[in-house]
Structure 1
Amino acid sequence: MGLKSENGASEAVKLCVFDLRRGQTEGQELDKILFFYPADLPLSAQLSVIGLSEGLITFTRIFSPEAPCEVIEAEVHSHVFYEAEPDIWMVMVVEKDKDSEAIWRIDALRKVLEEVHSLFVMFHGSIRTLVDKEPTGGLIRTHLYYFIMDFLSDFSIGKKLQLPNFRESLKERGTIQMLTVGREAAIEVQSLVRVLESCAGSTHCYSLTMFQDLVVSSSLSPIDAVRLFTYAVLRLTPLALSSGVSSWSSSRKGNTSCNTSAGAVLANSGLVVDQYYNSPDASALGSHSYPVVRPLQHAKWSKGKDGFLVTDIWGADVNNLVPTSPTIWLHQTEEKMYLLAYQHRGLTMILLIPVSSVNGEQGIAMVKQQILENASLKMFKVEEKLSRGWGGENAYHVSGYRYLLVDGDRYISRASPPGKVTTLTKESLIAFCKLREEVDSEKSRAKCDNSGCEKDLELSIRAKNNAWLIARLTRGKELYMVLEKANETLLYASDAVEKFSERYCNGVFSLD
């Protein structure tokens, strides 16, 4: 028996962030809402969505205290839950309509929530810290509103949000994509990284080197590398700078030419952060004008004449109008870092320097000068070498295969080029989406077992159009494959997977 959604609103997508430690007193329920999309939905409707979500979380915790509610499939909605921080919940409610494109993986939707939270923490710190800093909630609401609305602008087509659907099943959000280079090029890159990091003197720095939209080298922890890579692809790479939108954004929207800016999304939703302050149910906040840094705004980065990427997102020095250097927070060390990005053609070098180790903007200017004097020539040579060996956007295409490789331990993935994936039939992609849902369920059950050991898994399914859909999981690594031109027998399809495993995966997925 399906659970009916209580909300009659026509919005196909709702997204909210709420704090279970707030608003527990009768008459103060509104206080728990930290963010809600669409923001112009009546407060009673917002409270209804959050009240249902809170009830489901409380109920499921009775049976599973360590792993409460993850998803509820209602009659006309899917409710996706993500506990971003202790007692800080993000919930996405998506409508099940008759649109043939509205077929999605729940785990893919949850990864959207994980991504926006991880990026928010990288720039602003934890939600809980901001809540505690200003208990009335005005500070965190303002930051979340602008940040999430800017984030959602990448998913917008007209007045609608297009979330990851079955057509993106051969992608894995929350991972980095690496560029494979030869030994000689790798030595050149490592030499460049050493020179770059030495430009900050004895200070311990971190770096991320990218060519086009692929990572070449990183000295960051896997989680920090994923976060910085995600932001770089969204706003910093040559493609992101030249188009004004991210390459991921373009792939999310297919071939559409309708790219809605963050400002348009804000206008459509109504700039109504103040609704919480003006409501009779909310506490009086007095002055609630908070300075907000909006790192996900479009078209706010540009390349300077010296090759460094510049932005005024973080403000500017009032005396000389020099833009303030960007800063981020590292997950591993919990340090606040200056972000310096230098770009030459397809090469992007990002250097992170502890804020505590340099003398503000003057110190950053000195580091930039050192980079220009000591590292720029090496950057030119490395970019030239990588360009000569670059096979283009189809560099990792394997004829006859449409695949996705995931190394969960290192947060790395590799997949067939998007242009090649579009050659698959809709029927194959929908069936493959369902296969991945099955794998997600198996992984979730294994996690709940608390056995501490990863289970190997192999699934092979024959779609109605005779395509073979294959999933193999072993030792933290995952291989997914769609074979539309395979022979009718399972033996033929298995042999094709074995050949792929031996040639491209060092035999990791071979059954022998």
Structure 2
Amino acid sequence: MDIANSHGLVNVPPSLSYFCVYNPSFGRTEDSQADQLLYYTSKKTVPMDVKIRQVGLAQGLVNFTRVFSPSKPCENVHTQKNRLAFYEPEPDYWIHISIELGYVKKVTKDKEGKPKTTIDYLDANLHDSGVKRMLELGYEMYRIFNGPFEYTVREYTERAAGIKALKNKLEEFFANWVFEWDFEKTELTKTVDGILYMPLSDSAELQMTSFVNQIQSDYEYISDMFVIWQNKLVYRGNGTLPVNNIRGIWRHLVSYIAERDAHDREIERKRKNKEAEKVSSFKGFTRSISGSNLFSYFSSSTTPKVSPSTSPPNSSTPPESHSSSSLLSPSTQIFIPGPSNFLLGPTNLHGPDEDIHPVIVYLSKNSNSCSIKKTDNQHDEEHNEDDSDIDEYYLVAYKQNALTLVFLIPFNLSEGSTKVHEMVFYRSFHNYLSSQSEGIINILNENYEKSRKLGRTDVDKEYRYLFFNKMTLAVKSSLYPFSSNGSLTSSSKGLTITSEMAHALCELHEDLEKYPQLTEIYTRSSTHFWIVGKRSDGRVLYIVVPKKEATLAEVEDDVRRITALYFSGNNIY
């Protein structure tokens, strides 16, 4: 959308030109070049010959740069009006995007007084690291629902049928995903893609370990499990899975949790509205009885007791995070309609086994990525044994209040594979978890309140920081507050991160990534705020210091103080 300001300038944000997925090996001859193209979309209709030329140009740029850098060919190309980016997530499979740069258009007058239009393209406002992470995230999210590209092709006896199935999956996923991306907001928080953790006290950690061990002892076919509290990871499993796999599952479940919370809030709102309508209808009925003392009798009596179905005002459940378990308690579940407590599992615990559609998770041992897909009851289907780098699990997720329990059941274990297709298992598992989880919910709630009070300092208002550990993918940030679904929002209390600050943070991050020998960067903006980047042993810390008159020595003292306050000693990360 073109945005005109009071000075007559028109600001046009960056936008998608085209996006495609292709594989050069599918069409090596001139006549079969169109077969390379697996998916293509653009903001306007493009004929096939133009698509082929665009893919050919992409291949030419990649092949040319591969001569000079065989292990790391071209990733992006800057032109006057466009930004081209390339990403090879699997051998011979390429994701390619072309973005039209944003620009500022203004109308001036030439020497003769005639109107003159000038256009300045804003190349520096679109960060390569943000675009790269966008493509990586798109592929990761595709894998969550569909599995690797080549895995889909190999599932079919005939390769042509596999390629056709892959094209259908790409069309179904990317048709929605591509146009949801906001190219203006390539913030550092999106580029540095980590996991939100909630630290546990020593006593809480011991009780959490005991809680997890008890579940895995009672259900031996559960090979691993995660624990999420209020969208933050508090237990990350037994350490056998690569952390990137955990991040993919966590990110996928955070969206599910947000949807469930929104659904539960809507159910609660409708329930309260229905109760209010009943009260209003009753009052209307009593008013209609003219000359009677009936209404005065009820209105003068003692205050009615609170309905048992109404939550007390000081409930331990966090505000705007009503649990599905409050709607589906064991004693009323058969009578109250609504979703089950399983985020991933049956939506109705009293339905037939045929309603169960287990979720399969593909966890890659080598590439540290994961994907998820839903299947029908065909859990005994054969899989290609050549994909030895992929482990398959059934994924079951259960939510009670702010607690989400995530379970991994190996696909090739007959007992677990049978259980996840039986409704009686989910009913029994629900009763077990609902009774076992009460204690750990209280412990986590107390731990959360303590950590929140400890985290409230004046430093959070005076400075902004982002800490990222590449080894654990743990991220801690005060740049923006976290919304209910775990994403980062643009509003904050205290210091506000302006677009200029966000831009400077991305540039500093790109410099640190580009020059690995650098361990520390200090930069000062034209508006007199400082941006600092520090790196050590796979950990990186970014700090915004908004002090106009501060010297470099004073900023260094501030950075040392913040580092000691948040990241010294045996830190939670």
TM-score between both structures, scaled by the size of structure 2: 0.67
Instruction: Report the alpha carbon displacement of residue 428 of structure 1 after superposing the two structures with TM.
Output: 2.2
Over aligned residue pairs, what C-alpha RMSD do you find?
3.3
Mapped pair 1:345 → 2:379: no
Change over 3 Å in CA distance of 1:319–1:488 after alignment to 2: closer
Mapped pair 1:130 → 2:152: yes
Q: Secondary structure at the match of 1:27?
A: helix
How many angstroms apart in 1 are the aligned matches of 2:103 and 2:15? 14
Contact map agreement 1:72 1:80 (CA 8 A) in 2: yes
Select which of 125, 135, 139 maps to 1:103: 125
Q: Secondary structure at the match of 1:50?
A: helix
Match of 2:174 in 1: 148
How many angstroms apart in 1 are the aligned matches of 2:535 and 2:210? 36
Match of 2:182 in 1: 162
Instruction: Report the alpha carbon displacement of residue 140 of structure 1 after superposing the two structures with TM.
Output: 0.6
Select which of 75, 78, 81 maps to 2:83: 78
Match of 2:508 in 1: 435
Change over 3 Å in CA distance of 1:222–1:341 after alignment to 2: same
Contact map agreement 2:410 2:417 (CA 8 A) in 1: no
Mapped pair 1:322 → 2:340: no
How many angstroms apart in 2 are the aligned matches of 1:396 and 1:330? 38
How many angstroms apart in 1 are the aligned matches of 2:499 and 2:402? 34
Instruction: Report the alpha carbon displacement of residue 147 of structure 1 after superposing the two structures with TM.
Output: 2.0
Superposed CA offset, 1:110-159 (max 9, x none) = 11211222233344332123234453221111111212234346x3xxxx
Match of 2:270 in 1: none
Q: Secondary structure at the match of 1:351?
A: strand
Instruction: Report the alpha carbon displacement of residue 109 of structure 1 after superposing the two structures with TM.
Output: 1.6
How many angstroms apart in 2 are the aligned matches of 1:56 and 1:174? 28
How many angstroms apart in 2 are the aligned matches of 1:214 and 1:456? 31
Match of 1:221 in 2: 242
Counterpart AA for 1:72: V
Counterpart AA for 2:446: R
Select which of 307, 312, 320 maps to 2:341: 307
Instruction: Report the alpha carbon displacement of residue 492 of structure 1 after superposing the two structures with TM.
Output: 1.1
Instruction: Report the alpha carbon displacement of residue 224 of structure 1 after superposing the two structures with TM.
Output: 1.0
Instruction: Report the alpha carbon displacement of residue 45 of structure 1 after superposing the two structures with TM.
Output: 3.0
The structure number with the bigger radius of gyration is 2
Contact map agreement 2:345 2:396 (CA 8 A) in 1: no
Contact map agreement 2:351 2:423 (CA 8 A) in 1: no
Counterpart AA for 2:444: L
How many angstroms apart in 2 are the aligned matches of 1:479 and 1:142? 42
Mapped pair 1:35 → 2:7: no
Match of 1:114 in 2: 136
Mapped pair 1:491 → 2:524: no
Q: Secondary structure at the match of 1:348?
A: strand
Mapped pair 1:388 → 2:446: yes
Report the number of matched residues. Answer: 422
Match of 1:424 in 2: 497
Q: Secondary structure at the match of 2:399?
A: strand
Counterpart AA for 1:107: S
Select which of 457, 466, 478 maps to 2:540: 478
Superposed CA offset, 1:431-486 (max 9, x none) = 2222223223224xxxxxxxxxxx45211001011000111111111111111136
Contact map agreement 2:356 2:423 (CA 8 A) in 1: no
Contact map agreement 1:170 1:403 (CA 8 A) in 2: no
Select which of 367, 372, 377 maps to 2:430: 372
Counterpart AA for 1:135: R
Instruction: Report the alpha carbon displacement of residue 489 of structure 1 after superposing the two structures with TM.
Output: 0.4
Instruction: State percent identity of aligned pairs.
Output: 22
Counterpart AA for 1:381: G
Contact map agreement 1:326 1:340 (CA 8 A) in 2: yes
How many angstroms apart in 2 are the aligned matches of 1:67 and 1:229? 29
Q: Secondary structure at the match of 1:82?
A: strand
Contact map agreement 2:83 2:98 (CA 8 A) in 1: yes
Contact map agreement 1:317 1:323 (CA 8 A) in 2: no
Instruction: Report the alpha carbon displacement of residue 57 of structure 1 after superposing the two structures with TM.
Output: 0.6
Change over 3 Å in CA distance of 1:463–1:102 after alignment to 2: closer
Change over 3 Å in CA distance of 1:319–1:240 after alignment to 2: closer
How many angstroms apart in 2 are the aligned matches of 1:102 and 1:165? 13
Change over 3 Å in CA distance of 1:339–1:165 after alignment to 2: same
Which ranges in structure 2 are unaligned for 5 or more consecutive residues? 1-13, 105-121, 264-323, 329-339, 366-388, 482-490
Match of 1:336 in 2: 392
Superposed CA offset, 1:283-308 (max 9, x none) = xxxxxxxxxxxxxxxxxxx8883522
Select which of 206, 212, 233 maps to 2:224: 206
Change over 3 Å in CA distance of 1:472–1:508 after alignment to 2: farther
Contact map agreement 1:340 1:351 (CA 8 A) in 2: yes
Change over 3 Å in CA distance of 1:457–1:478 after alignment to 2: same
Please identify, of 487-496 and 115-124, the stretch whose mean Cα deviation from structure 2 is larger: 115-124
Match of 1:461 in 2: 523
Match of 1:273 in 2: none
Mapped pair 1:192 → 2:211: yes
How many angstroms apart in 2 are the aligned matches of 1:73 and 1:93? 10
Contact map agreement 1:407 1:477 (CA 8 A) in 2: yes
